[in-house]
């Protein structure tokens, strides 16, 4: 069970004078159960790439295999792929349209051919796992707060029971508390349900703490695909792509440069504190 992208090329405005190559020879394997961070500057092609993964954009060259089957085959069912690869777009709350929260979350599973009961169970479960309390499920989605709306929208995709959940900048425009809340929630979903999560972001801080694997994309090409620690050791290269390493990794690096005996590969504040205390005490 996996998603394999094999030498994907995609052009914008193909056949016109504006033609540009948006994705260049992308090859990726996404096995089951990983928590992946996909990082790239604005316009690097990350949103284009994830839309290939559920078939919303068709690659100009190359193939994509989902669980061993070519998704560009004539008899391959796109609805099946869309169900199993859930895609949450940027500002997903802008897609809410129904009169009540529960109805909106039901939209996905009903389209995907769930029976009424299955759909209701899935929708209710999804709302639970994003932390929407029972008294809100019959409220209008337009009455909720920004963070709640976003969680409802995520539930709308989660209710389709995907095997892979892709989120495009899920924390954009949220305050720090809302950000942490969304990221924790994703971690929980990942751990409890064993869903593969692909978190798309331009912020290293967001992904450093949660992702097991980091894919860095720049100008339509994959530049790094490795463990976060390894990726962050290339701070100079990342800076050239307009990306910053997490602040505490940066700080620890500078302390180490000053001659302190600390671990320069710390990713989170907790790790940094531990390393500094270990040296000082």
Partner 1 sequence: MLRDLTIGQYYPAESVIHRLDPRTKFLGTIIFIVALFLFKTFWGFLLAGSFVICVIALAKLPPKYILKGMRPILFLLLFMMIFNLLLTPGEVIGEWWIFSVTKEGIYAALFMGLRLIMLVMGSSIMTYTTTPNKLTSGMESVFGFLKVFKVPVHELAMMVSIALRFIPILLEETNKIMKAQQARGADFETGGPIKRAKALIPILVPLFVSSFRRAGELAEAMEARCYHGGEGRTKMKPLKYGRRDLVAYLVLIGLVVGCFFIP
List the interface residues with partner 1, window 87-126 (CB under 8 A).
Answer: 87-89, 92, 94-97, 107-108, 110-112
- Residue 82 binds partner 1, judged by CB under 8 A: yes
Distance CA 19, CA 10 (A): 10
* Nearest residue to 116 via CA among 124, 106, 105, 126: 106
Q: Which of residues 120-179 bind partner 1 (CB under 8 A)?
A: 142, 156-157, 160
Nearest CB to partner 1, comparing residues 141 and 246: 141
Residue 239 contacts partner 1 per CB under 8 A: no
Q: In what order do the strands lie in the sheet with 35-39?
A: 85-88, 164-168, 196-201, 35-39, 213-218, 221-226
Give the Cα separation of 50 and 5 in Å (integer).
11
| Smallest distance, partner 1 to C-beta of residue 168, A | 10
**Interaction with partner 1 in 6-45: which residues (CB under 8 A)?**
none
Near partner 1 in 197-236, by CB under 8 A = none
Q: Residues 79, 145, 188, 279: which binds partner 1 (CB under 8 A)?
A: 79
Give backbone dihedrals phi and psi of 173, rounded to 5 degrees, phi first.
75, 10
Tokens of 208: 């450093």
Give the binding-site size for partner 1 (rule: CB under 8 A): 24
What's the rounded Cα separation, in Å, for the pair 86 and 173? 21
Binding residues (CB under 8 A) for partner 1: these are 51, 54, 56, 79, 82-83, 86-89, 92, 94-97, 107-108, 110-112, 142, 156-157, 160
């Amino acid at each position: 069970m996996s998603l394999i992208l094999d030498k994907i090329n995609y052009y914008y405005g193909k056949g016109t004078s504006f033609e540009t190559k948006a994705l260049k020879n992308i090859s990726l394997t996404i096995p089951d159960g990983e928590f992946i961070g996909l990082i790239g500057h604005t316009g690097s092609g990350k949103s284009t790439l994830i839309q290939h993964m559920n078939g919303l954009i068709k690659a100009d060259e190359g193939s994509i295999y989902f669980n061993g089957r070519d998704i560009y085959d004539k008899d391959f069912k796109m609805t099946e792929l869309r169900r199993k690869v859930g895609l949450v777009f940027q500002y997903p709350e802008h897609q809410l349209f129904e009169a009540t929260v529960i109805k909106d979350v039901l939209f996905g599973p009903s389209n995907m051919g769930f029976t009424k009961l299955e759909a209701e169970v899935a929708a209710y479960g999804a709302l639970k796992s994003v932390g929407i309390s029972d008294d809100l499920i019959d409220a209008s989605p337009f009455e909720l707060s920004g963070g709640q709306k976003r969680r409802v929208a995520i539930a709308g995709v989660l209710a389709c029971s995907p095997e892979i959940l892709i989120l495009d900048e899920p924390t954009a425009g949220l305050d720090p508390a809302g950000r942490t809340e969304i990221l924790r929630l994703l971690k929980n979903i990942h751990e409890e349900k064993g869903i593969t999560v692909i978190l798309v972001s331009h912020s290293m801080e967001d992904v450093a703490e949660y992702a097991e694997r980091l894919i860095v994309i720049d100008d339509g090409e994959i530049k790094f695909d490795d463990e976060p620690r390894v990726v962050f050791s290339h701070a100079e290269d990342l800076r050239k792509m307009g990306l910053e390493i997490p602040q505490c990794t940066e700080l620890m690096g500078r302390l180490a440069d000053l001659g302190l005996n600390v671990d320069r590969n710390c990713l989170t504040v907790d790790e940094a504190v531990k390393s500094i205390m270990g040296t000082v005490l």
